[in-house]
Amino acid sequence: MAASAAARTEGEVLSPIVIPRRFEGPPGAAHGGIVAAYLDEVLAGAAVHHTGRMYVTGELTVRYVKGAPLERPLLGRGRAVTDSGKYLDLEAVIEDWETHDVVVRATGRFFPMRSA
């Protein structure tokens, strides 16, 4: 999985990615586990961006809209939706860089890491 560092815009984290063919699941599309892992990272980045603190994933829900294409530019977008103080609810999408079609959606509940 090749991804670059996330950029930040108006409350949103942006992260480009190109998924190599070796991560193929269904014919011509990325394996769902790779896609879920990438979305988890986008959501975690959005959590840090929102508060400046580190978080861990408590829940992750992924909705596969269509197959995530291989070997073409995609864009992950993530943002915080709710900050309860005890946890953050976030949402993210992966979209085709050229067409802007959403291929996958995710929501997550993230909890702040405790100090050691």
**pTM assigned to the model:** 0.88
> What is the domain-level CATH number for residue 78?
3.10.129.10
Give the structural domain span for 71: 2-112
Count of domains forming the chain: 1
Beta bridge partners of 108: 60, 90
CA–CA dist 111, 7 (Å, integer): 22
Residue 97, both tokens? 């860089």
CA–CA dist 113, 5 (Å, integer): 22
pLDDT in tens for each of the 116 residues of the chain?
Answer: 444 445 555 689 999 999 999 999 999 999 999 999 999 999 999 999 999 999 999 999 999 999 999 999 999 999 999 999 999 999 999 999 999 999 999 999 999 998 75
